Amino acid sequence: MGIVSPGFQGRPRPAGPALPPGQYLTEDFPVLSAGPTPTVSPQDWEFVLATETGAEYRWSWPELMALPQETPTVDIHCVTRWSKRDTSWQGVSLDTLLDGVDTAAGYAVAHSYGGYSTNLPLTDLRDGRAWIAHTYEGRPLPAEHGGPARLLVPHLYFWKSAKWVRGIRLTTTDEPGFWETAGYHDYGDPWREQRYAGD
Amino acid sequence: MSAALTWRVARLAGRRVETPTAHTLLLDVPGWPGHLPGQHLDLRLTAADGYQAARSYSLAAPAAGNRIEVTVQRVPDGEVSPYLVDVYAEGDPVEVRGPVGGWFVWRTDQAAPVLLVAGGSGVVPLAAMVRARRAAGSPAPFRLIHSVRTPADALYADELRRRARDDPGLDVAYVYTREAPADWPGGPHRIGAADLTRHGWPPDRTPLCYVCGPTGFVEAVADLLVGLGHPAGRVRTERFGPTG
């Protein structure tokens, strides 16, 4: 327990399932990004999965839409401490995209239109835990939230769910991304409160 | 990797009332490691029953030894900010951890022109840059455009007016969205390309632009700057949502 601040009581303790430590619920969908929002039209959008040997797998927008679609409803947790319950999405599972991809890589780096990047272990993209999401609450994902498509990896802090995603590169070594080289945690598990490097 | 950021006890040494709803807290934090202008900290409160709530706040000024400053805007129905503005008493402890953030920062050895565009209390980390610039004697030319609802909402207005007069190479301009001073040219309006052209830098000066404020403001200004010809890579943004 920390040092008590006299007179602080806090809100009534929220009912329902526990949130990750240090998080509070919001009904909004706050926007966080490091620069201007890139404008990418679905006609120009392309997603490239590249393996550690240089093999590339490409999907255009119509090709992505033609793949099996999933509709996850998930809680999301931002490192800036807001959490949002029961967000509903539509997209393509990374299991689908990785199916048949021959790789021995242990890591992945997601790259975005606009230059953003974030890293995560490849295993965190498998087993129904990650999607390329293009629809939010039944509507096309707005640009400020990462549209036309973003990575969705809700079991990690939300900066790992790269907005405006354009590709994933599989790597044999861990290559820290944008926030990971700016003081944030390399893995970012909200349940272990891995906010900053060293947590 | 770097060592973990540790929670440190901070005690309130004093406060400045900036506006009726925003106070600057002067905190003494033994062991504070120092910080760059634009960085923030996490501040944590613990109740008697062990319940904790934490929020992030921008550091408002360069550290002076163990003394740091944060400006807190009281959020209606908030959990942490009403305590900090209305209840938190001199000498009482909170815990802080930081500094945090290695992107939305200005380093005093950066020579390029700087454009700072603030919406509301988004001026806090930008004021930290203005203060650090003078403290370091940096010659980097700075222009600050601050969009506020009314003159009474303008944080640090007296200080920024004084600095615009006394700090060489610093210009400060205001945009009022609801209520402007009498005879204010243009009257109340939302910030537009004309404001950024008149009070900012032309793109060929390749300024580094820092934009901080509420989401809608940041989205609009960043788009305007890119539309005026500033490379997206020269525009850094930070959302300054009300954190309860």
Q: Are residues B228 and B199 in the same domain?
A: yes
Domains in chain A with CATH codes: 24-29+42-192 (3.90.420.10)
With cut-offs at 50, 70 and 90, classify the pLDDT of residue B186: confident
One domain, residues B95 and B127: no
State whether B104 and A34 contact (CB < 8 Å). yes
pLDDT of amino acid A32: 79
Q: How far lies B86's CA from each of B53, B187, B240, in Å?
A: 16, 34, 21
Interface check B182 vs A, CB under 8 A: no
pLDDT for the residue numbered B4: 81
pLDDT band with cut points at 50, 70 and 90 for residue B1: very low
Q: Which residues are CB-contacts of B187 (< 8 A; sequence separation ≥ 6)? A: B180
Spatial distance between the Cα atoms of A169 and A45, rounded to a whole number of angstroms = 17
Which residues 6+ apart lie within 8 Å of A132 measured at CB? A47, A64, A91, A92, A94, A97, A149, A150, A151, A152, A165
For residue B244, being part of any structural domain is answered with no
Asked if B94 and B122 sit in the same domain, the reply is no
Asked whether the predicted pLDDT for residue B185 surpasses 50, the reply is yes
pLDDT at A13: 78
Query: What pLDDT does B242 receive?
Result: 53
Same-domain status, B120 and B221:
yes
Please report, for the domain that includes residue B210, its CATH number: 3.40.50.80
The tens-digit pLDDT sequence of chain A (199 residues) is 789 999 999 988 777 888 999 999 888 887 878 899 999 999 999 999 999 999 999 999 999 999 999 999 999 999 989 999 999 999 999 999 999 999 999 999 999 999 999 999 999 999 999 999 999 999 999 999 999 999 999 999 999 999 999 999 999 999 999 999 999 999 999 999 999 999 9
Average pLDDT value for residue range B192-204? 97
Q: Which residues of A touch B94 (CB under 8 A)?
A: 3, 5
Same domain, B225 and B160: yes
Closest by Cβ to A1, choosing from B50, B222, B233: B50
Q: Is residue B209 part of a domain?
A: yes
Between CA B162 and CA A4 the distance in angstroms is 39
Count of CA atoms in the C-beta half-sphere (13 A) of B168: 5
Q: Hey, is B3 helix, strand or coil?
A: coil
Q: Which of A4, A32, A198 sits opposite B46 (nearest CB)?
A: A4
Write the secondary structure of B51-108 as one string of H (helix), E (strand) and C (coil). Answer: CEEEEEEEECCCCECCEEEEEEECCCCCCCHHHHHHHCCCCCEEEEEEEECCCCCCCC
Question: Among A29-33, A180-184, B171-175, B221-225, which is the least confidently predicted range?
Answer: A29-33
Q: How far apart are the first and last CA of chain A?
A: 17
Q: Do A81 and B4 touch (CB under 8 A)?
A: no
Is the confidence at residue B243, as pLDDT, over 70? Answer: no
Between positions 141 and 170 of A, the ones with CB within 8 A of B are: 144
Residue B24 sits in a domain of what CATH number? 2.40.30.10
The counts of H helices and E strands in chain A are 2, 11
Of B4, B92, B226, the CB nearest to A5: B92
Structural domains counted in chain B = 2
Indicate whether B118 and B96 sit together in one domain. no
- Residue B145's domain comprises 114-239
* Predicted ipTM of the assembly: 0.89
Interface of B with A in 27-86 (CB under 8 A): 42, 44-48, 50-56, 79, 83
pLDDT tens readout for residues B63-94:
999 999 999 999 888 899 999 999 999 999 99
Any domain includes B107: no
Q: What is the C-alpha R_g of chain A?
A: 17
What is the predicted pLDDT for the residue at B102?
86
Q: Has this prediction a pTM greater than 0.80?
A: yes
Residues B143 and B72 in one domain: no
Residue-averaged pLDDT of chain B: 94
Q: What is the pLDDT of residues A133-183, one digit of tens each?
A: 999 999 999 999 999 999 999 999 999 999 999 999 999 999 999 999 999
